[in-house]
Amino acid sequence: MKRFLLFISFLLISHVSFAQRTCGSVLNLDSIEKHDPTRYQRILQIEKHLERYNEMLGEEINRSTPSIIRIPVVVHVLHNGESIGTGLNISMAQIESQIDVLNEDFRRLNSDASNTPTEFQSVASDVGVI
């Protein structure tokens, strides 16, 4: 029993000490500034860029009309040398058709959107991605 309590105490102490660690990059920032000023300046530039991006993102979220995000897609068709449209070598029309279906689903414009289960209807929405 003593060993068990000792083990539990060790776990609790190690968890508390681990939870209080700070980020390694913050600990090293002073050292980076001292030993590699160029790298330090680059880190500051990245931080400023991220701040501007977050501000811009906040403005976009507050717009009354949502913007659509277009994600470029690359499709790799793996086949055994069949001619296009036969076997595993699907046609471009098949690829485009499936991309259209995915776009409809992500925009919640699909014909079966009304079949969304009740428990998901409150969160089902147009994701704004095509």
Q: How far apart are CA 99 and CA 90, in angstroms?
A: 13
**Neighbour-count burial for 35-63, b at 16+ CB within 10 Å, e otherwise:** eeeeebeeeeeeeeeeeeeeeeeeeeeee
The 10s digit of each residue's pLDDT in 42-98 is 888 988 888 888 787 776 655 556 678 888 899 999 999 999 999 999 999 999 999
Q: How far apart are CA 85 and CA 92, in angstroms?
A: 8
pLDDT of residue 93: 94
Beta-bridge partner residues of 89: 86
The 10s digit of each residue's pLDDT in 46-56 is 888 888 887 87
Whether 6 has a pLDDT exceeding 80, the answer reads no
Whether 17 has a pLDDT exceeding 80, the answer reads no
Whether 20 has a pLDDT exceeding 60, the answer reads no
75 near 88, Cβ under 8 Å? no
| Burial label, 14 (beta-carbon count in 10 A; 0-12, 13-18, 19+) | exposed
